[in-house]
Amino acid sequence: MTYQTLLLEIRDAIAFVTVNRPDKLNALNDQVMLELGKAAESIASEPEIRGAILTGAGPKSFVAGADIGDLARQGPFDGKARAQRGQRVLRRLETCGKPVIAAVNGFALGGGCELAMACHIRIASENAKFGQPEVKLGIAPGYGGTQRLPRLVGKGVALQLILTGEMIDAQEAYRIGLVNKVVPAADLLAESEKMMRGILAMGPLAVRLAMEAVDQGLEMTLDQGLLLEANHFGLLAATQDTKEGLTAFLEKRSAKFQGR
């Protein structure tokens, strides 16, 4: 698959995906969303990809939101359709079964903040800025911001960000739990890769089922979520990876996981 608006490079099992419209601060137009959907599908289905790191081209912006030019032309029905298409793309990324890290290298506004929130982990450079400024444009978040932001930072802080449209810096995003880590800009990709390599050294089936339990469990009652967790725990006991992980510990050696 060739991309016009994304760069996708697979290096040692990690897909490095870069939104590549730096002249428009990597704003998400329809082409970017289409290609992000294809990239999410590749990440999910291609066995040589075991995790993905998502970033934006250029020093200034991760993604500065949905493309305002596209939004200016939409009516109510295509507006709804655009929101649902975008939501599906982000959800596919979130449920691709492999870890996805957002390496946030600058503005993550509107759809950019929403895209980062659909990733499993967010690492921000010191110059990153976050916000849901849609209300300033007379619109509301449409790619999951009203749903994922309160799940990540709590209802009160989420409403403050969504209703005021204010922009916050990386340290504030870290303080409220929106990002996992803040690093110097020069170290962003290396730090993201380091964390990803650490995750990829773990049992891949265990990683996959743990992500699934967290994702699905958040929408369940505690008892349902606990049952799901116990089912996964039991299922993993039938895998070679679990036997290898436990035996390796007892034999005082590193585990060699095969993903089966």
How many Cβ atoms from other residues are within 10 Å of residue 150's Cβ? 16
Cβ proximity to ligand COA, 14 vs 89, nearer residue: 89
Minimum CB–partner distance for residue 144 and ligand COA (Å): 13
Cβ proximity to ligand COA, 37 vs 79, nearer residue: 79
d(CA 180, CA 93): 18
List the beta bridge partners of residue 201: none
Q: Where are the beta strands (DSSP E) in 12-146?
A: 14-19, 51-56, 61-63, 100-104, 107-109, 121-125, 129-131
Minimum CB–partner distance for residue 174 and ligand COA (Å): 20
40-76: burial string, b at 16+ Cβ within 10 Å, e else: bebbeeeeebbbbbbbbbbeebbbbbbbeebbeeeee
Cβ proximity to ligand COA, 133 vs 203, nearer residue: 133
Minimum CB–partner distance for residue 161 and ligand COA (Å): 13
Any catalytic annotation for residue 229? no
Binding site for ligand COA (CB under 6 A): 24-25, 27, 64-69, 107, 109-111, 133-134, 137
Any catalytic annotation for residue 134? yes
In the block, which residue shows the tokens 């749903």?
Answer: 147
Query: Given 134, 191, 193, 219, which residue is catalytic?
Result: 134
Query: Given 9, 46, 48, 114, which residue is catalytic?
Result: 114
d(CA 214, CA 225): 8
Minimum CB–partner distance for residue 114 and ligand COA (Å): 9
List the beta bridge partners of residue 125: 183
Residues labelled as active-site residues: 114, 134
